[in-house]
């Protein structure tokens, strides 16, 4: 209970503060988009690179844990794609549910393990980010190309996807951190300290930006698609993750962090991608808000159960 009060609840209080700040107009409306861009391009990559560069993976079942997380995402994706192929439902709506059923909110996903378990929890979460970010991008973009509304969004191609992946700052930061770790070089003295200072600002600003992006008005138009996405992301995916972890022999802290990570609400990048590729952005916005609200209840209960 103490871990719940001191780790999980402050994360959602920061999200709530971000919502209040934007709602009250205490900061200019134009502040939030540059702040989120700053976090995405510089602060969060600094946090991932420094964490992975310093982490001790020697006693961590990295391959099995990464495999369990990816298999859970693959199983959920296959389920939704099969549903669409069999029922021929609204393609863009199905892509909205798919995106918001597998994309994690990385900001929350790094905050909670760090608050609960310190550097070891953060290192495991960062390693999961290194695996999940490219996986979900490939799956979501492929689904949008197949089922999205081509008239409403831009079409893409294989080479474009590869280029986008290689320009993703989170992927590049993970590759840099892992390269510094496994090469034995570690963080260079001056650059490493600079990145460490940048990293300290990542999570507070990111969580405030998550709250600022909530739209309770849009959430009132929710329907069956939203209920499905909430249930699949906050209950179905963590259950699949736990099952694959146990199947592959992952236990203890790695299992706990993996389950927490796949029990997160979806990332706001789902909305951006849906808007660009004809994937029902209005529905995605509704799902994101409702998932974040519901996760404020389900995540503390999950932590209370497994801690």
* 204 φψ region: left (φ > 0), alpha (ψ -120 to 50), beta (else): alpha
Residue 102's Cα: distance from chain center in Å? 8
User: How distant, in Å, are the alpha carbons of 57, 68, 109, 273 from that of 100?
Assistant: 30, 19, 15, 11
Return the pLDDT at 156: 45
Return the pLDDT at 307: 63
Return the pLDDT at 222: 55
Q: Which of 35, 53, 36 is closest to 122 using CA atoms?
A: 53
pLDDT winner (highest mean) among 51-55, 91-95, 230-234? 230-234
Q: Following CA atoms 275, 277, 280, 281 in sequence, which dihedral angle do they give, to the nearest 10 degrees?
A: -20
Give residue limits of the domains in the chain: 2-306
pLDDT in tens, 96-120: 999 999 999 988 999 999 988 999 9
pLDDT in tens, 57-69: 887 898 999 999 9
pLDDT in tens, 215-234: 776 666 557 889 999 999 99
| Band of residue 155 on the pLDDT scale cut at 50, 70, 90 | very low
Q: Is the pLDDT of residue 153 over 60?
A: no
Q: Which of 290, 292, 283 is closest to 148 using CA atoms?
A: 283
Fold of the domain spanning 2-306: Na+/H+ antiporter like fold (1.20.1530)
Mean pLDDT to the nearest integer, 72-91: 90
pLDDT: which is higher, 192 or 214: 192
Contact of 192 with 155, CB cutoff 8 Å:
no
């Amino acid at each position: 209970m103490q871990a719940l009060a001191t780790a999980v609840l402050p994360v959602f209080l920061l999200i709530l503060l971000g919502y209040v700040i934007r709602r009250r107009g205490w900061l200019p409306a134009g502040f939030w988009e540059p702040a989120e861009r700053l976090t995405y391009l510089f602060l969060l990559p600094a946090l991932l690179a420094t964490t992975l560069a310093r982490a001790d993976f020697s006693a961590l079942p990295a391959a099995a844990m990464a495999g369990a997380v990816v298999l859970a995402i693959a199983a959920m994706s296959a389920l939704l794609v099969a549903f669409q192929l069999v029922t021929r439902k609204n393609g863009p709506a199905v892509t909205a549910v798919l995106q918001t059923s597998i994309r994690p909110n990385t900001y929350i996903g790094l905050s909670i393990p760090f608050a609960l378990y310190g550097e070891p929890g953060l290192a495991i979460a960062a390693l999961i980010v290194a695996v999940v970010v490219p996986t979900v991008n490939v799956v979501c973009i492929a689904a949008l190309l197949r089922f999205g509304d081509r008239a409403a969004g831009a079409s893409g191609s294989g080479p474009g996807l590869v280029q986008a992946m290689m320009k993703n700052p989170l992927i590049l930061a993970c590759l840099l951190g892992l390269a510094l770790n496994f090469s034995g070089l570690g963080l260079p003295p001056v650059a490493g300290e600079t990145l460490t200072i940048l990293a300290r600002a990542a999570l507070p600003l990111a969580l405030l930006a998550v709250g600022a992006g909530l739209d309770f008005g849009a959430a009132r138009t929710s329907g069956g698609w939203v209920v499905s996405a909430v249930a699949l992301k906050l209950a179905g995916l963590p259950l699949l993750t736990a099952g694959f972890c146990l199947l592959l022999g992952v236990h203890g802290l790695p299992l706990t962090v993996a389950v927490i990570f796949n029990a997160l609400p979806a990332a706001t990048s789902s909305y951006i991608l849906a808007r660009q590729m004809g994937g029902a952005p209005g529905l995605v916005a509704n799902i994101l808000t409702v998932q974040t609200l519901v996760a404020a209840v389900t995540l503390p209960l999950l932590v209370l159960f497994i801690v």
